[in-house]
Structure 1
Amino acid sequence: MAKASTHYDFIVIGAGAAGCLTAGRLVRDHGARVLLVEAGARDRNPLIHMPAGFVKLLTNRDYMTFHRSAEHAHLDGRQPSIPQGKVLGGGSSVNAMVYIRGQARDYDDWVSITGDESLNYRRLLPHFIRLEGNSTFNNAAHGINGPLKVSDGANLSDVSRAFVLAAQQTGLRFNADFNSGTQMGAGFYQTTTYRGRRCSGVDAFLAPVMGDPRLEIRTGTTVTRIVIEGNVARGIEVQSGSQREQIFGGQVILTAGALVTPKLLMLSGIGAAGELARLDIPVKADLPGVGENLQDHHEVPVVAFCKGRYGYFNQDRGWNQIRNGLQYLAFHNGPVASNAVEAGAFFNPDDASGAPSIQVFCLPTVYLDPDVTSTRATYGFTLNSCVMRPKSRGRVSLPTADPAATPIVYPNYLHHPDDLRLSIAGMRRAARIMRAGPLESMVEQIVLPDERALSDASVESDEALAEHCRRTVKTVYHPAGTARMGRDNDPMAVLHSDMTVRGIEGLRVFDTSSWPTIISGNTVATTYAVADRGVSRMMGETMPEEARKRDIESADPLLTYAT
């Protein structure tokens, strides 16, 4: 096996949101020599940069890895797919771009689990602020000068506008900003876009240093294991085509995502000793929490057909496609500038005044997935109900010691009865919204699930909706928690709260694997903030003064909730 002649200060594994930020910051702010390794290709496909293009990328195996889960007996034997981005930028290049930070209580949970007060929302807020370049809000809750561009959607469909009005008719207040005090209510999502163009981790953090000789990016390169000598991580083994190579560096940082990071840890001898021995992998650190604690947001659809030509059906065909393409090129708006998930709502079916437990995504299209539904393509829309703080826990494991083998993913959706109960409650609220305000005049028929079950509170109806959930539940592409932080006396903790791997020197995890629990909402904003915290802790940085000042001066209830 060849050995690289170049020695790097840092080796970053995985060029998703966390990896792009980590590599970019280390080069730009610390002058470090960094190798960033990505299994996928460069982000040259124009569809990546057009917000609406992600819909066509989610099924493209050139840019996605399809992690098939094990059979779920409680889901009638289904094996829900969990696709993840495999391209420079990772999920930040193929996601729906929704910018949500979660709730203060999410981060309070992290403090309770780790004992580290620096993980509360007030202490993480400066990281959110310094990264954010918001073109709409300029207040204590938001940053305006950061590299990650955040803006209002460049196009709002008739369905999205009607949804927000209809949701208010059901008792939800209008919320102009889901990130500045409370999530509760209905409104329009902000997105990681600027002038109708996606702002990925590549755009925000790699582009400014792309020409710097201290940064080397290797795409199309798969890491097969971390090289560990004694209890010290020295480098990595990689494969590109038929070529295998060992590369060495001062620190190794895992940012490969919550499905691949535990795989690489286990292949490198870090995991449950018994499981590693079964696969004949020499044990470097007996950490039984590796691969456990898998959490993922899951959603179930409520689908309606429309009486008229509402939504985005047929907008990518014929004359519509030509017109919309020209509009986008000329003005950076129109349907091509839509992220499809333009509007949404947060609510709590158990306590109208409590913290939200359900997130609804409004899609101005009929949801089509041959693995999930049998609906036809026509004018209509979908309201997806998502449980934000699921109690079900899954796992990631290795079938063999072969690095080329796909890990076995068992997300365990709906295993906890509260997750099923909340999913049903979310669907019922979605149906109420469909039959309220301006949406009522648009809807011809609710076709999925059975409308009678949605309006009837009987035991039979509950079971009918439960069966719909089991048949249609799917990922929201947010896996987390599989190499989590924890207290030093926590036997299932993989990381210390500074994100270093327990028992191994020179190895850190900065991606969503590190999260003790999943946050309430889309995950990319927190992915950036947590990785930024990781870099700051590793490099001994202090809180940026502007962010500190804005934080202290804020009187916003969310910002002062966790102290």
Structure 2
Amino acid sequence: MSDFIIIGGGSSGCLIASRLVQSGASVLLLEEGPARGHPLLDLPAGYMKFLNSERFLKYYPTTPQPQLGGRSMIIPQGRILGGGSAINAMVYLRGTAQDYDDWAQITGDQGWSYQAMLPHFTAMEGNAELSGPHHGTQGPLKVSHLGHMNPVTAAFLAACDAIGLHHNDDFNGPTQAGSGRMQHTIDGHARRRSSAVKAFLAPIKTHKNLRLECGARVDQLLMTGDRVTGVRWQQNGQTHESHAAQIMLTAGALASPHLLMRSGLGPETQLRAAGIAVRADLPQVGQNLQDHCEVPVISTLRRGMGYFGQDSGWNMLRHGLRYVLSRSGPVTSTGVEACAFISLGTDPRPMIQLYCVPTVYVDRTVSGVDPTWGLTLTPCLARPKSRGEIRLNPADPHGLPLVDPAFLTNPADMQAMRDGIAKAREVLAQAPLRDMVTGALMPTDFASDSIDRHIRATVKTNYHPVGTCAMGSVVDSHLRVMGVQGLRIADASIMPQIPAANTNAPTLALASRAAELILAP
């Protein structure tokens, strides 16, 4: 019997396992995916080869979205040791100070305020280029700028500056607004991915107090009375039961509420409809789903510009050779090198994160555009107001859940997306970017009703679901699940409000705070 069982070996699970083992506790870490990915995933550009593959991703189809003409989309989640940190685009952003101060206000716990959370960010960060009060330089999670920037990206930044989106050297510094290069979880010397496995789990993988099981799917939480005492899990066709003094659930914003509900912890009406015995009526489990969503604005570029065709044939070979010999060139780029954070209306906090992708980039469910020399500017809602939900499928409660992201159901989100597209077009019209652009590819009609049709036809996830086991409604501010004993949740599902940032860094910071809470005397 272990002191702790951790369900999910993603970013949170790896960090918490490391802290607990180092404290002298024994830990069983269960991960559904494989222990290792493809070697290409270690290269900054390598993840793009796996974006449309279920090899290391678990696909969650959404329910048909009436507000989007009945479209159904896919929300992928990492299915590999390290979770999203092992297969994502490696962007390292935290959000604004107000994001965390809002958490503190919602929970009534100042331990979630920005000033309290900042040391969790800086302690884990090993930044190769930035320092000062907002950064750490000696931590295990390596952070740097990319080793290569496409000329189209440089033109995008100049165009942003021309419309008043002035250069910001550090999106994780005192202010977020403006345009600039994004930092990434990449070792600035080796030019390789710094995942949660490398940063936190690798140093303790052979420790006698850690038992790591991959390919392990947890079917159910086991309970005695109102206490969660263990888990039932499957591996290689065999069923296992393991018990521990405390259980940590770190499976992510889609899987964590689903496991709770399958185990009888959730909305009573849903559980009864699915034939599951109710162990605790927790009506907010699965509610409050939030995700950043985005819409592409695609232009054609002059021949030879951007990244089109650079990942195949002779180009791929010469770029690969350059990387091997000098750790430089396009292989050291994720292809998403810069963005702009844009405020709308009277609110000074950015509402739009405008990504610059120097190629044609659309979701796999979107058709009507072919690969070519192109540029995709992607307005993404940094602080969406729409709220969705995760529900049990009563016909198959142990299969995939019903995921309703409810994108753009709040009218304010739809208007913000229209405004974001207008800003993208304004950027495209500025020199030197306009001299590279040869035409509009998607959308081509900019009448207001056509823009709305384009938004509904192309909006997609930015892969950042959060909020489905939120602090204040499912867990308390110490991350203990309400109504039961022996169970905490420490992943993106506990965020009561989505931060204006790619969510891997915030998830790691909350995991660091979770470890602190667990180990507190």
* Separation (CA, whole Å) in 1 of partners of 2:326 and 2:507: 31
Give CA deviations for 1:386-411 in whole Å, capped at 9, x if unaligned. 01111111000111485640111000
Tell whether 2:456 aligns with 1:467.
no
* Separation (CA, whole Å) in 2 of partners of 1:315 and 1:73: 39
The amino acid across from 1:525 in the alignment is A
> Match for residue 262 of structure 1?
257
> Match for residue 549 of structure 1?
none
> Match for residue 111 of structure 2?
118
The amino acid across from 2:341 in the alignment is F
* Separation (CA, whole Å) in 2 of partners of 1:275 and 1:525: 33
Unaligned runs of 5+ in 2: none
Which secondary structure does the structure 1 equivalent of 2:417 belong to? helix
Deviation at 1:155, TM superposition (A): 1.2
CA RMSD in angstroms comes to 1.3
Tell whether 2:518 aligns with 1:514.
no
Give CA deviations for 1:312-337 in whole Å, capped at 9, x if unaligned. 11111111111111111122221111
Which secondary structure does the structure 1 equivalent of 2:432 belong to? helix
Are 1:58 and 1:83, in contact at CA under 8 Å, matched by a contact in 2?
no
Tell whether 2:160 aligns with 1:187.
no
Unaligned runs of 5+ in 1: 1-6, 454-460, 487-492, 542-563
* Regions of 4+ moved over 3 Å: 400-404
> Match for residue 507 of structure 2?
527
Deviates more, 1:395-404 or 1:281-290: 395-404
Tell whether 2:138 aligns with 1:152.
no
Which secondary structure does the structure 2 equivalent of 1:193 belong to? coil
Equivalent of 1:385 in 379, 382, 391: 379
> Match for residue 504 of structure 1?
484
Are 1:197 and 1:332, in contact at CA under 8 Å, matched by a contact in 2?
no
* Separation (CA, whole Å) in 2 of partners of 1:178 and 1:368: 25
Give CA deviations for 1:77-129 in whole Å, capped at 9, x if unaligned. 10111011101111101111111110111112212221111111011111001
> Match for residue 224 of structure 1?
219
Are 1:224 and 1:403, in contact at CA under 8 Å, matched by a contact in 2?
no
The amino acid across from 1:463 in the alignment is D
Are 1:301 and 1:385, in contact at CA under 8 Å, matched by a contact in 2?
yes
Tell whether 2:93 aligns with 1:100.
yes
> Match for residue 127 of structure 2?
134
TM-score (norm: length of structure 2): 0.98
> Match for residue 431 of structure 2?
437
Tell whether 2:79 aligns with 1:79.
no
| Residue correspondences, number | 519
Are 1:21 and 1:201, in contact at CA under 8 Å, matched by a contact in 2?
yes
Give CA deviations for 1:412-437 in whole Å, capped at 9, x if unaligned. 00100111101111111111111112
Aligned pairs (5 A) from 1:336-347: 336-347=331-342
Aligned pairs (5 A) from 1:197-216: 197-216=192-211
* Separation (CA, whole Å) in 1 of partners of 2:314 and 2:184: 28
Tell whether 2:348 aligns with 1:354.
yes
Deviation at 1:349, TM superposition (A): 2.5
Tell whether 2:46 aligns with 1:53.
yes
Are 2:37 and 2:80, in contact at CA under 8 Å, matched by a contact in 1?
no
Are 2:37 and 2:56, in contact at CA under 8 Å, matched by a contact in 1?
no
* Separation (CA, whole Å) in 2 of partners of 1:212 and 1:331: 35
Which secondary structure does the structure 2 equivalent of 1:283 belong to? coil
Are 2:191 and 2:327, in contact at CA under 8 Å, matched by a contact in 1?
yes
The amino acid across from 1:441 in the alignment is D
Deviation at 1:158, TM superposition (A): 1.1
Which secondary structure does the structure 2 equivalent of 1:51 belong to? coil
Deviation at 1:140, TM superposition (A): 0.6
Are 1:47 and 1:57, in contact at CA under 8 Å, matched by a contact in 2?
no
Aligned pairs (5 A) from 1:445-460: 445-450=439-444, 453=446
Which secondary structure does the structure 2 equivalent of 1:190 belong to? coil
* Separation (CA, whole Å) in 1 of partners of 2:324 and 2:30: 33
Which secondary structure does the structure 1 equivalent of 2:294 belong to? strand
Give CA deviations for 1:191-227 in whole Å, capped at 9, x if unaligned. 0001310001101101111111211111111000111
Change (3 A) 1:247 1:122: same
Equivalent of 1:235 in 222, 230, 233: 230
* Separation (CA, whole Å) in 2 of partners of 1:205 and 1:141: 21
* Separation (CA, whole Å) in 2 of partners of 1:436 and 1:65: 40
Which secondary structure does the structure 1 equivalent of 2:470 belong to? coil
Which secondary structure does the structure 2 equivalent of 1:152 belong to? coil
* Separation (CA, whole Å) in 1 of partners of 2:384 and 2:365: 22
Tell whether 2:261 aligns with 1:247.
no
The amino acid across from 1:469 in the alignment is I
* Separation (CA, whole Å) in 2 of partners of 1:501 and 1:282: 18
Are 1:267 and 1:401, in contact at CA under 8 Å, matched by a contact in 2?
no
Give CA deviations for 1:24-53 in whole Å, capped at 9, x if unaligned. 11112x021111111111223112111111
> Match for residue 35 of structure 2?
42
Are 1:298 and 1:475, in contact at CA under 8 Å, matched by a contact in 2?
yes
> Match for residue 557 of structure 1?
none
Deviation at 1:141, TM superposition (A): 0.6
Are 1:51 and 1:337, in contact at CA under 8 Å, matched by a contact in 2?
yes
The amino acid across from 1:157 in the alignment is N
Deviation at 1:462, TM superposition (A): 2.2
Change (3 A) 1:443 1:120: same
The amino acid across from 2:464 in the alignment is H
The amino acid across from 2:298 in the alignment is V
Give CA deviations for 1:137-193 in whole Å, capped at 9, x if unaligned. 110110111111000111111111111111101111100000011111000000000
Tell whether 2:155 aligns with 1:175.
no
* Separation (CA, whole Å) in 1 of partners of 2:410 and 2:297: 21
* Separation (CA, whole Å) in 2 of partners of 1:102 and 1:401: 39
The amino acid across from 1:319 in the alignment is W
Are 1:235 and 1:246, in contact at CA under 8 Å, matched by a contact in 2?
yes
Which secondary structure does the structure 1 equivalent of 2:64 belong to? coil
Aligned pairs (5 A) from 1:404-423: 404-423=398-417
Give CA deviations for 1:291-346 in whole Å, capped at 9, x if unaligned. 00000000000001102311111111111111111111122221111111100000
Taking only the aligned residue pairs, the percentage that are identical comes to: 44
* Separation (CA, whole Å) in 2 of partners of 1:193 and 1:282: 46
Aligned pairs (5 A) from 1:328-343: 328-343=323-338
> Match for residue 478 of structure 1?
464
Deviates more, 1:330-339 or 1:142-151: 330-339
Which secondary structure does the structure 1 equivalent of 2:148 belong to? coil
Deviation at 1:241, TM superposition (A): 2.8
Tell whether 2:13 aligns with 1:11.
no
Aligned pairs (5 A) from 1:288-303: 288-303=283-298
Which secondary structure does the structure 2 equivalent of 1:162 belong to? helix
Deviation at 1:370, TM superposition (A): 4.5
Tell whether 2:76 aligns with 1:90.
no
Which secondary structure does the structure 2 equivalent of 1:21 belong to? helix
Are 2:6 and 2:248, in contact at CA under 8 Å, matched by a contact in 1?
yes
Which secondary structure does the structure 2 equivalent of 1:99 belong to? coil
